């Protein structure tokens, strides 16, 4: 192999498409843009979703729902999660250190999913009615 014989492999290089260079090229006259209209002009185009003046789909459909930005500060803990903790007194700090609630959480509520078999004291943590009954039945309390 010599330096003067090195070539790119077959099909690796191809000629750039030259539009608007005469009828013999197959891409002369309108240069593949069709006839007239906004899309045939230089610089003429429209925004995404434009439907030619017809009311666009995103405006035809009704607006629905709302997701509060405050939801990121709320967290839920199940009875099963509480049962897995070894702490007798559970507060926000204990739950955050155990990784059960995100660090951004400001409010935590215990929900009645699963069962609890040990006494747990909750400090500054809310609980649903069913969860409260289950915690108190296991000998725990809400402070």
Per-residue pLDDT reduced to its tens digit, 47-82? 899 998 999 999 999 999 999 999 999 999 999 999
Question: What is the pLDDT, as a whole number, of residue 75?
Answer: 95
Question: What is the pLDDT, as a whole number, of residue 79?
Answer: 95
- Beta bridge partners, 108, equal 75
CATH 3.100.10.10 fits 69-142, yes or no: yes
Question: What is the pLDDT, as a whole number, of residue 130?
Answer: 95
Strand 74-78 to 126-127 pairing = unpaired
Question: pTM of the entire structure?
Answer: 0.55
Give pLDDT < 50 ranges for the chain. none
């Amino acid at each position: 192999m010599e330096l003067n014989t090195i070539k790119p492999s077959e099909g690796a290089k191809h000629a750039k498409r030259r539009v608007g260079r005469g009828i013999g090229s197959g891409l002369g006259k309108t240069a593949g843009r069709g006839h007239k209209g906004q899309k045939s002009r230089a610089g003429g185009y429209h925004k995404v979703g434009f439907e030619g003046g017809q009311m666009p789909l995103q405006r035809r459909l009704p607006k629905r729902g709302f997701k509060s930005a405050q939801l990121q500060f709320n967290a839920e803990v199940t009875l099963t999660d509480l049962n897995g903790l070894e702490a007798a007194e559970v507060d926000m700090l204990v739950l955050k250190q155990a990784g059960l609630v995100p660090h951004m959480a400001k409010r935590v509520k215990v929900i009645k999913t699963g069962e609890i078999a040990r006494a747990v004291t909750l400090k500054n943590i809310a609980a649903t009615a069913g969860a409260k009954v289950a915690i108190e039945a296991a000998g725990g309390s809400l402070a």
